[in-house]
Amino acid sequence: MVFGSYKDQTIIGKFLSLFSGNSSTVFVMLAGMGIALMTNRNEYSNEEKIQLRNTILKRAFFLFLAGLLLNLIWPADILHFYGCYMFIIAFTIFYDKSYFLKFATLSILIFHFLIFIIPYETGWYLEKFQYKDFYTINGFIRNTFYNGWNSIFPWIAYFFLGMFLGRLNWTEIKVQLIMFLIGLSLYLTVNIIQIVSQHISIPQDLSEFINADYLPPFLPFMLSTFGFGLMLISGFMYLGNKIGGSQFAKNFASTGQMTLTHYVSHVTIGMMIFSILAGKDLSKDLTLQQPTEPLYVLLFSIAYFVFSYYFSKLWTKKFKNGPLETLMRKISG
């Protein structure tokens, strides 16, 4: 929606709005699952624990620096936040999975406590989605821990939830069904409350709390996106158990395993290509330029995904990991 408008009320516009928040939250949850699967043995020696923790810390450092560099051209970067999540996660990876849900709850509570201390809009120019003092010590700390695009509080809750999910036995249909139903219940409950709130008289503050979308990530937004993520992950786990051996599924998995490469390429190469096609000037404020029709945004997104799919398919014929994934592994081990 960078080139479009989040206020677009057409059918396609509303469809694209489903990915506002949901895509990023699923992204973080899957990263948590990946870390959990990486450390999912029943027993580790102390030496093995230290080695795994050091590997995660090195990757956290890599993502943090890579994200800060990317932030120079893409202010909504999530990679440096990933680095922060993983730094914290590195010291909790061998806890029982029940603790991950407790940590997730705690991070949400901390965020909502901070709301009463620091006005959420501090540092923001929300009309243009610009963070004014990011490159100052106070601004950077505030943005990183509290009110950035994907700040540690509460966003690390998605990572912890992903780690909890990664410790479940997804080969069991019962697990898939329970997680899907929990997700469906959360998603429907929040959305029904949001719809009802728009048709009854309630205090403005309460209405803003219920209907907030991404900024700020209040509890209803988080519960809704938790639900969406659980449904999506459960659905693909079911499909994976059914068709995981097919060549298409293997190629699809290769695309997912190159997420870092595709993320960086789509916010650099992808955005440059689309800006040319859409007649946008990336050197100027996009909020002051005419929004692109949602149909064109959707078509380009599909085309870019197809390109990413075939690129991954060809790349993995010669290489085990994607370009940036390979670089990260060489640095972190």
In angstroms, the CA 164 to CA 11 distance is 35
**Residuewise pLDDT in 10s, the chain (333 residues):** 455 555 666 777 777 777 766 789 999 999 999 999 999 888 899 999 999 999 999 999 999 999 999 999 888 999 999 999 999 999 999 999 999 999 999 999 999 999 999 999 999 998 788 899 999 999 999 999 999 999 999 999 999 999 999 999 999 999 999 999 999 999 999 999 999 999 999 999 999 999 998 899 999 999 999 999 999 999 999 998 888 788 888 888 889 889 999 999 998 999 889 888 878 776 666 666 677 788 888 899 899 999 999 999 999 999 989 999 999 999 886
Whose CA is closest to 170, among 26, 30, 312? 30
Q: Are 115 and 216 in contact (CB under 8 A)?
A: yes
This prediction's pTM:
0.93
In angstroms, the CA 225 to CA 23 distance is 9
Kindly tell me the sign of the dihedral angle through the C-alpha atoms of 67, 71, 74, 76. positive
In angstroms, the CA 97 to CA 152 distance is 20
Q: Is 276 exposed, middle or buried (CB count within 10 Å of its CB: 0-12, 13-18, 19+)?
A: exposed
Kindly tell me the sign of the dihedral angle through the C-alpha atoms of 56, 62, 65, 70. negative
SS (H, E, C) the chain: CCCCCCCCCCHHHHHHHCCCCHHHHHHHHHHHHHHHHHCCCCCCCHHHHHHHHHHHHHHHHHHHHHHHHHHCCCCCCCHHHHHHHHHHHCCCCCCCHHHHHHHHHHHHHHHHHHHCCCCCCCCEECCCCEECCCCCHHHHHHHHHHHCCCCHHHHHHHHHHHHHHHCCCCCCHHHHHHHHHHHHHHHHHHHHHHHHHCCCCCCHHHHHHHHCCCCCCCHHHHHHHHHHHHHHHHHHHHHHHHHCCCHHHHHHHHHHHCHHHHHHHHHHHHHHHHHHHHCCCCCCCHHHCCCCCHHHHHHHHHHHHHHHHHHHHHHCCCCCCCHHHHHHHHHHC
The pLDDT, as a whole number, for residue 131 is 94
Q: Are 186 and 224 in contact (CB under 8 A)?
A: yes
In angstroms, the CA 207 to CA 220 distance is 11
Q: Are 298 and 16 in contact (CB under 8 A)?
A: yes
234 — phi, psi (to 5°)?
-60, -40
CA 117 to chain centre: 26
